[in-house]
């Protein structure tokens, strides 16, 4: 069976898309195959087929934390947008598939008076992406609410307990073992007061709007915070707030956000981030490390 026929029989297939279309910073070259599997079993079938055929692949959520290269990707990008089902389990935990958009999930839980994801309600990614990054805000991280993670590897699904995921600041075992594909998880969710939960989420959303340039294409925060201070303070300290290089701008509103202000390329983003790192290192002897994934660069 031809690759196009196989992929289209197991998912929604696109042949005319680029990374500009599927990443929040809107940067990147064309993609040979873009497929969204209909369900978890179809995902397994697609991945098995791609491996057997020697076709390289990349899994993405909403593309909110990645910058992709400008050259064409001669492989298959797998989007998990159809893996967005959830259900409550007998032990009180919440089962959620990896393609669920986290702000949507947080809002659904809030309307039912369920607490646990308020801290992540403004992070515009999928559950799988947030687990991969151990994303966090307001002194909470995904590791604080994840009980177990369902992964796919070598043709099998298996559960990993929280302690098996090696969570640390913006890191997890999934960085080390790229063969582990996050497909679902169990979350610790507790009963709360609906109005209080919704008020807290509304307050934090307003704070984000006041302090972050949400109206421009970006990947959110570019650099991890060093142990000594916030990354944005170092960037501001070397006078780079508002700095521009080609299609990239260091945000006036939040210097740790790099914005696509035109037809930016991946090389512009990388050059700007390297320039920032060099300036901060020279001024403060502090090493900044990106929390953004660079792919096909």
pLDDT at position 181 is 96
pLDDT at position 239 is 98
Q: Which of 274, 235, 276, 228 is nearest to 253 (CA)?
A: 235
Q: Is the pLDDT of residue 286 over 70?
A: yes
CB neighbours of residue 9 within 10 Å = 13
The CA-CA-CA angle for residues 57, 83, 257, to 5°, reads: 70
pLDDT at position 142 is 97
Which of the following is catalytic: 18, 64, 172, 221? 221
134-140 mean pLDDT:
91
270-275 mean pLDDT:
98
133-158 mean pLDDT:
94
pLDDT at position 1 is 64
pLDDT at position 92 is 87
54-77 mean pLDDT:
96
Q: Which of 130, 133, 89 is nearest to 106 (CA)?
A: 130
Q: Is the pLDDT of residue 97 over 70?
A: yes
- Tokens representing 44 are 């397994």
pLDDT at position 230 is 97
Domain 3-79 has CATH 3.30.43.10: yes
Residues 134/140, Cβ–Cβ less than 8 Å: no
Q: Which of 3, 21, 132 is nearest to 74 (CA)?
A: 3
221 among known catalytic residues:
yes
CATH number of 213-295: 3.90.78.10
Give the long-range contacts of residues 210-217, CB within 8 A, separation 24 or more. 211/253, 211/254, 212/251, 212/253, 212/254, 212/257, 213/251, 213/252, 213/253, 213/254, 213/257, 213/259, 216/251, 216/259, 216/260, 216/261, 217/24, 217/25, 217/26, 217/27, 217/259, 217/260
**Roughly what angle, to the nearest 10 degrees, separates helices 40-53 and 3-10?**
170
Domain 86-196, architecture per CATH? 2-Layer Sandwich (3.30)
Residue extents of the structural domains in the chain? 3-79, 86-196, 213-295
Which of the following is catalytic: 97, 141, 249, 291? 291
136 DSSP β-pair partners: 141
104 among known catalytic residues:
no
pLDDT band at 233 (very low <50, low <70, confident <90, very high): very high
pLDDT band at 246 (very low <50, low <70, confident <90, very high): very high
pLDDT in tens, 199-229: 999 999 999 999 999 999 999 999 999 999 9
pLDDT at position 178 is 87
Strand, coil or helix: what is 124? coil
Q: Cβ contacts of residue 224 below 8 Å, gap of 6+?
A: 169, 170, 231, 288, 289, 290, 291
The percent of residues in the chain predicted with pLDDT above 70, rounded, is: 100
279 among known catalytic residues:
no
pLDDT in tens, 35-48: 999 999 999 999 99
| Distance (Å, whole) CA 36 – CA 221 | 27
């Amino acid at each position: 069976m031809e690759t196009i026929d196989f992929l289209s029989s197991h998912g929604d297939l696109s042949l005319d898309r680029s990374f500009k279309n599927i990443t929040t910073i809107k940067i990147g070259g064309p993609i040979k195959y873009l497929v969204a599997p209909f369900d978890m079993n179809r995902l397994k079938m697609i991945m098995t087929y791609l491996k057997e055929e020697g076709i390289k692949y990349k899994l993405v959520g909403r593309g909110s934390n990645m910058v992709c290269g400008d050259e064409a990707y001669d492989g298959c990008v797998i989007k998990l947008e159809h893996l967005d089902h959830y259900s409550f389990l007998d032990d009180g935990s919440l089962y959620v598939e990896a393609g669920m958009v986290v702000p949507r999930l947080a809002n659904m839980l809030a309307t039912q008076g369920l607490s646990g994801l308020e801290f992540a309600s403004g992070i515009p990614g999928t559950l799988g992406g947030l687990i991969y990054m151990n994303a966090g805000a307001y002194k909470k991280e995904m590791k604080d609410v994840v009980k177990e993670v369902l992964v796919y590897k070598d043709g099998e699904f298996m559960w990993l307990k929280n302690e098996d995921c090696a969570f640390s600041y913006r890191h997890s075992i999934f960085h080390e073992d790229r063969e582990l594909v996050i497909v679902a998880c169990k979350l610790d969710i507790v009963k709360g007061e609906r109005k209080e939960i919704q008020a807290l989420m509304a307050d934090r959303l307003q704070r984000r709007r006041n302090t972050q340039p949400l109206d421009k294409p970006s990947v959110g925060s570019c650099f991890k915070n060093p142990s000594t201070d916030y990354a944005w303070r170092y960037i501001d300290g070397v006078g780079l707030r508002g700095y521009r290089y080609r299609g990239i701008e260091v945000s006036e509103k939040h210097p740790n956000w790099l914005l696509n202000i035109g037809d930016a390329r991946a090389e512009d983003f990388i050059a700007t981030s390297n320039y920032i790192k060099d300036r901060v290192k020279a001024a403060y002897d502090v090493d900044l490390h990106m929390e953004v994934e660079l792919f096909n660069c």
